[in-house]
C-alpha cells in the first residue's frame, strides 16, 4: 500500500464511541449532497442523523468494524470504515471498504484519498489481500475517484429499493497487495 498522504491541516485517527453523532452527521450531509437527483427527494429528506447515530454508536462501541475519521479545524470532515467482505461469494482474504464519506466542502482536497488509503491500509494490515466496495452505479464522482485509486468493476450487481425507486449498485474490487 502507498503511504497515506494527509492534506495540510487535516488529521486522521481511529473512530471512538463519542464520534457517533459526528459520523452520522457527515454521512447524512454527504448522502444528501451526493444523491440529490439520483435517489427520491423523500428518501433524502427522511434521513435522520439521530437514527444513524444509534447505528454508529453500536458499530463504534463494538469495535468490530474499523473506522477512520478525518478532522480539520476541530470538525469532522469525513470518515471511512472497513470490515470483512460481506457477500457470500467472497473468500476470507477479501475485505470490504464499507463506507467512505467526505463533507461536500472538502471534496477535491485530498481528504477522500487520505481516508481511502488509511482504510485500505487497515485492511491490508489485518491480512486481507483483496478489497471490494459497493457503489451506486449512477454515482459518477465516486466512480471517477475509485477508477483513479485502481478499483475495477468485478461484474457483481445488486438491486436496491429506495422509496419505490429501484437503483443498481455495482461492486468494484482491487488488490491490497503491493506490486
Residue 118 interacts with ligand COA (CB under 6 A): yes or no: no
> Which class for 152: exposed (0-12), middle (13-18), buried (19 or more C-beta within 10 A)?
exposed
Stretch that binds ligand COA, among 17-25, 42-50, 88-96, 140-148 (CB under 6 A): 140-148
Contacts made by residues 140-145, CB under 8 angstroms, sequence distance 24+: 141/34, 141/107, 142/34, 145/112, 145/113, 145/116
How many H-runs (helices) and E-runs (strands) does the chain carry? 5, 7
- Considering only 21, 29, 84, 110, the residue that binds ligand COA (CB under 6 A) is 110
Minimum CB separation from ligand COA for residue 107, in Å?
4
- Considering only 111, 120, 124, 176, the residue that binds ligand COA (CB under 6 A) is 111
Residue 75 interacts with ligand COA (CB under 6 A): yes or no: no
> Which class for 25: exposed (0-12), middle (13-18), buried (19 or more C-beta within 10 A)?
middle
Beta carbon nearer to ligand COA, 20 or 102: 102
- Considering only 59, 67, 135, 176, the residue that binds ligand COA (CB under 6 A) is 135
What is the CB neighbour count within 10 angstroms for residue 31?
16
Residue 137 interacts with ligand COA (CB under 6 A): yes or no: no
- Considering only 30, 53, 72, 96, the residue that binds ligand COA (CB under 6 A) is 30
Amino acid at each position: 500500500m502507498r503511504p497515506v498522504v494527509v492534506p495540510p491541516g487535516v488529521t486522521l485517527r481511529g473512530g471512538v464511541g463519542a464520534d457517533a453523532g459526528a459520523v452520522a452527521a457527515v454521512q447524512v450531509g454527504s448522502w444528501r449532497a451526493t444523491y440529490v437527483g439520483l435517489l427520491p427527494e423523500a428518501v433524502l429528506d427522511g434521513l435522520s442523523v439521530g437514527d444513524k447515530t444509534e447505528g454508529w454508536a453500536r458499530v463504534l462501541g463494538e469495535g468490530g468494524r474499523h473506522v477512520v475519521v478525518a478532522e480539520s479545524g476541530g470538525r469532522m470532515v469525513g470518515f471511512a470504515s472497513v470490515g470483512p467482505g460481506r457477500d457470500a461469494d467472497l473468500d476470507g482474504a477479501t475485505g470490504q471498504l464499507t463506507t467512505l464519506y467526505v463533507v461536500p466542502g472538502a471534496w477535491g482536497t485530498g481528504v477522500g484519498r487520505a481516508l481511502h488509503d488509511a482504510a485500505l491500509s487497515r485492511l491490508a494490515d489485518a491480512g486481507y489481500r483483496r478489497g471490494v466496495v459497493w457503489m451506486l452505479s449512477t454515482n459518477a464522482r465516486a466512480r471517477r475517484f475509485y477508477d483513479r485509486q485502481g478499483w475495477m468493476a468485478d461484474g457483481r450487481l445488486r438491486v436496491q429499493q429506495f422509496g419505490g425507486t429501484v437503483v443498481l449498485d455495482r461492486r468494484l474490487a482491487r488488490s491490497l497487495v503491493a506490486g
